[in-house]
Structure 1
């Protein structure tokens, strides 16, 4: 049984709400379940909602006219998504697919915006998180333009981990639910090329490879290593 109150209390984008605001968010929340690989929404969908991941993981993606999927980001439990929730009437820029069995807590866009209007102190938190995501998107473009394969893969793993934790990574191990295929698809590389780089990182003691998961053993050490590659 999902504790909706606890999940929303711990969600970064709602952390500026007072206790009463969280209670009101719980009152308007809808719990939704999706099986692995199920479509959550398509690119271009005009349904507006803030989605908080209570369990599982979600793949943010784009699909070509021929059906080829490009993975853009993977979010795990505790994080949120909903690119059009602050822009009424705007179509979704990306699609979303259940990366595993997923439970979402959904706040409809109009009701979420009404909640923020009632508790404007949360806007500062939301704007900070949105600006961080914008910075992350720009940094990915910069990586693609300026950096080699090793640095790009190392920085992307750190970015994925930071998105999951919602704060600076520090020196504690952190796992990302991602395969070599997903990384290759996400970055426009071959699986073989990604595998070679990941094995180099593993041999250097920077990460541990497991089935469907990569664990960065010390994010600060990984960050220092990647910076030397630049």
Structure 2
């Protein structure tokens, strides 16, 4: 399901980029001169709804941060079955692992609705890291968060039934990159079925039950979490 269209340019100058980086955990502790340097070699890219950002197997040329809109990370089987790995919202970084292992992109990334991204080219960040190795600490922290999340998802997928897995995924989606919580989730039941590997009918049955219990509220753009403690209990009760 598409996010609201980005109809204006939220970042237009190096000064805007520098202020954006200052608010982002990956670069927020850099001195001003380093931030100015990063802002000079970064570029703002804008994509239309469903436009390909990078494909699985592409040679990595940089990493991205979502300024506005959202991005779908997907992979497909040889038979054409698609799995939705993640939806990256504003503030999220993606593509950083390929900068260090040099391997091709591991998934397809498409714009979900019109979106605006900050592109950090590989050449620029590598030169900066050579001179300011303290940035490695922030990137390693980000990669560790990714690993912990992956292990957590593997554990819950293996041990929990559908209700617990769905509750767990909604709670993860509600938490932004900066650890803030948003009850509003812009994704469809088809998105959830692709994430969890379950049928849309099964997802609909559980969501309908939770709506009757006052835990969530469904609408045409997605859903809203009304009762976080009750949703967490769906995990522990299972």
Q: Normalising to structure 2: TM-score of the pair?
A: 0.86
Residue matched to 1:123: 136
The 8 Å contact of residues 11 and 80 in structure 1, kept in 2 or not, is answered as no
Once the two structures are superposed, the pairs formed by residues 71-220 of structure 1 within 5 Å of their partners are 71-162=84-175, 164-167=176-179, 169=181, 173-220=182-229
Residue matched to 2:28: 15
The 8 Å contact of residues 215 and 230 in structure 2, kept in 1 or not, is answered as yes
Residue matched to 2:231: 222
**Any idea what SS the aligned residue of 2:113 has?**
coil
Residue matched to 1:64: 77
Q: Deviations over 1:165-184 (max 9, x none)?
A: 43264xxx522221111000
Q: Which portions of structure 1, spanning 4 or more consecutive aligned residues, are displaced by more than 6 angstroms?
A: none
Q: Cα distance 1:22–1:176, how it changes in 2: closer, same or farther (>3 A)?
A: farther
Name the CA distance, whole Å, in 1 between partners of 2:206 and 2:134. 44
Name the CA distance, whole Å, in 2 between partners of 1:16 and 1:117. 17
Name the CA distance, whole Å, in 1 between partners of 2:230 and 2:30. 35
Q: Deviations over 1:207-230 (max 9, x none)?
A: 22222222223545532x133323
5+ residue gaps, structure 2: 1-8
Q: Cα distance 1:161–1:19, how it changes in 2: closer, same or farther (>3 A)?
A: farther
How many residues in Structure 1 have an aligned counterpart in Structure 2? Answer: 225
The 8 Å contact of residues 50 and 113 in structure 2, kept in 1 or not, is answered as yes
Equivalent position to 1:6, from 10, 19, 24:
19
CA RMSD of aligned residues (A): 2.0
Name the CA distance, whole Å, in 2 between partners of 1:226 and 1:14. 37
